Amino acid sequence: MVLPLGDLQRTQIVPFVTYSLIAINVAVFLIQQQQGDEFTLAFAATPYEITHNEDLEQAVPTEVRVLVHDQFGLHWERRERMRPHYPCPIPIRLTLLTSMFLHGSWMHLLGNMLYLWIVGDNVEEVLGAVRYLIVYLACGLVGSLAQIAVSPDSLTPTLGASGAIAGMMGAYVVWFPHNQIRVLVFRFITVLPAVIVIGAWIALQIWLGAGSIGRMGEGGGVAYLAHVGGAVTGIFVAFLFYDHARYIKTRNAAAEGWSVYEGPE
């Protein structure tokens, strides 16, 4: 198990947008806990609803693959299940936005917020508050669309900030590949460069995403292609602002009284 705990690169700003995003995600999750599945499913983004611009207001039948243990042993079977849906009080395609602030569990929320806390302040410092928020939302939107594109008729709702945060991670690893990140490796704490910690995570999402394409829409799980779409968007933006990121690194290094390594040209 490798768990990132934080980076060692300080910023010269107070990252108000990052803190606000974390607070909003936590607040929305608390509302989810109070309101239940009806609230969550109403504001999640369901591919079929997005591609057909149709709000599914009640449960609909769908086929799912289930693992069955019978006299023939373990095997997969297709069975019909009723997929719950609830009416959405806003235009259905706006759920592409609202779904970014929903989470499926405490672990889902805490994992996403941990990564946002680690990389968000550095990315916000480079982009500035307004651009940072725009890029964050754009990465989440592209991530959701990437997931929907491979299974446009899926009735499985998608939710979570993972696509947006993957975008922040993609920008971070382009701008700060040598930043040291404190990680928990099993029972030991050490530091590793961002290019290993974050780069390996992005590579894993691409590999898992490619392997999941044939199973899209069959049930719940991790939206790997949303991670890939968000990360690619963040990497693209990072190259647009690469020179400014170098300026920020040089400025911060001078303020701290240490040199900055840019790597081979």
Per the residue annotation, which of 151, 227, 244, 259 is the catalytic one? 227
The domain tally of the chain equals 1
Point out which residues pair with 61 in neighbouring strands: 82
Q: Are 218 and 145 in contact (CB under 8 A)?
A: no
Q: What CA–CA distances, in Å, run from 25 to 20, 46, 215?
A: 9, 20, 29
Q: Which domain holds residue 197?
A: 2-51+89-256
Does any domain span residue 79?
Answer: no
Q: Position 40: which residue type?
A: T
For residue range 65-115, list pLDDT tens digits in order.
666 777 667 766 777 777 788 899 999 999 999 999 999 899 999 999 999
Cα dihedral sign for 29, 31, 37, 43?
negative
Place of tokens 């989440």: 140
Catalytic residue among 162, 178, 212, 259: 162
Task: Let me know if 108 is a catalytic residue.
Answer: no
Any domain includes 117: yes
Has residue 112 been placed in a domain?
Answer: yes
* Known active-site residue 212: no
Confidence class of residue 212 from pLDDT cuts 50, 70 and 90? low
- Does residue 63 lie in a domain region? no
Residue 111 lies in a domain: yes
- CATH value at residue 41: 1.20.1540.10
Which of the pair, 66 or 176, is modelled with greater confidence?
A: 176
Asked whether residue 64 is assigned to any structural domain, the reply reads no
Confidence of residue 172 (pLDDT cuts 50, 70, 90): very high
Question: Is residue 263 domain-resident?
Answer: no
Three-state secondary structure call for residue 66: strand
The Cα–Cα gap between 62 and 156 comes to 10
pLDDT tens digits, one per residue of 3-38:
888 888 888 999 999 999 999 999 999 999 999 999
Question: Among residues 109, 117, 101, 225, which one has the least CA distance to residue 169?
Answer: 117
Tell me if 145 is assigned to some domain: yes
